[in-house]
Each structure stands twice: as structure tokens, then as C-alpha cells.
Amino acid sequence: MVVGELDRTLAIALPNEAATVALAQRLAPTLLDGGVLFLRGELGAGKTTFARALLRALGVGERVKSPTYSLLERYRVNGHDAFHLDLYRIADAGELEWLGLDELDAPDTLVLVEWPERGGGALPKPDMEVALGHADSGREVRLTPFSTRGGRWLERLR
């Protein structure tokens, strides 16, 4: 259900976890050419749930683990790399140097980043921000494109 739209941002009510999963499943087919999604929200807002559902919808058959302690998990999606990063435990963006983040810029690579504000300039620019938050009746997500690619994704969701 669409709650509202501000500029190019699409706001959607997510009354329960199933709605979060359904949104990720709707978005997944638009991401086959790769791209960068920044996942924002408080602890417990549904970022990892969204990322897991998205990766499963893209065909990841193995267990989709939370990268909270490993910082980065790598998967294969449609013959290309997909990375899921959780930077919650990062105190300084300099700590990311050893992760080999230069691979994130490869063509057709999908990158999902939780807590991107902790990555500083070490991260690629996002194509879209997925901001999850608590609302009166469940949760709400705001999808904001930051590139032409992100704009195409948003148009396909409408």
C-alpha cells in the first residue's frame, strides 16, 4: 500500500514482516543487473529481514547469514557477485580497508549495505536508499533513488 510520495521518494506501509518480505520479492527482479542499495533504519527496523528476502528472491539457495560479525557475506546471483555488508560494529571507516571493497565496484555486482553511514567514503555511491522505520501500525519503508538505475528500479515498483 502506498502511503505517500515526496519528490522521487516512494513511501510504503509495511504492516508486518510478510509485507517486508513481499516488497523485497517485488524489488528483486529489477536488480539482476546489479547495483548498490543502502539499507537504513534503527536496530530491529527490518534491514536484515529485507536483505535476506531479497537475496533469496534472487535465487540464493544457501543459508543467508547476517553479516553482523563477519561484516561482509558474499553470494552468487545470476552468475555475478552479491555482497551483503553490515557495518554496525565499525567505529571508523578506516577499519574497512582489509575487506577488499574495491570488488564492490565490479560491473553487475549487487551490494546491500546496512548502516552505510559508518562506511564513509569507502563505499560505492548508492543507486537507492531503502529506509525502514517504525510507524503507528507496523513499519514503513521509504525508497529513494540516487541514480538513473535507482530511478528505473523505483519506476518498475510503481
Q: What is the pLDDT of residues 101-141, one digit of tens each?
A: 777 778 888 999 999 998 888 888 999 999 999 888 788 99
Query: Global pTM?
Result: 0.88
More reliable by pLDDT, 88 or 94? 88
Residue 1 has pLDDT above 60, yes or no: no
Close Cβ partners of 50 (under 8 Å, ≥ 6 residues apart): 20, 21, 23, 24, 39, 130, 132, 141
* 41-78 tens-digit pLDDT: 998 888 999 999 999 999 998 777 777 667 888 899 88
Provide the H-helix boundaries in the chain: 17-27, 47-57, 148-157
pLDDT band of 8, cuts 50, 70, 90: confident
The predicted pLDDT at position 2 comes to 41
Domains of the chain in start order, with CATH, are 2-157 (3.40.50.300)
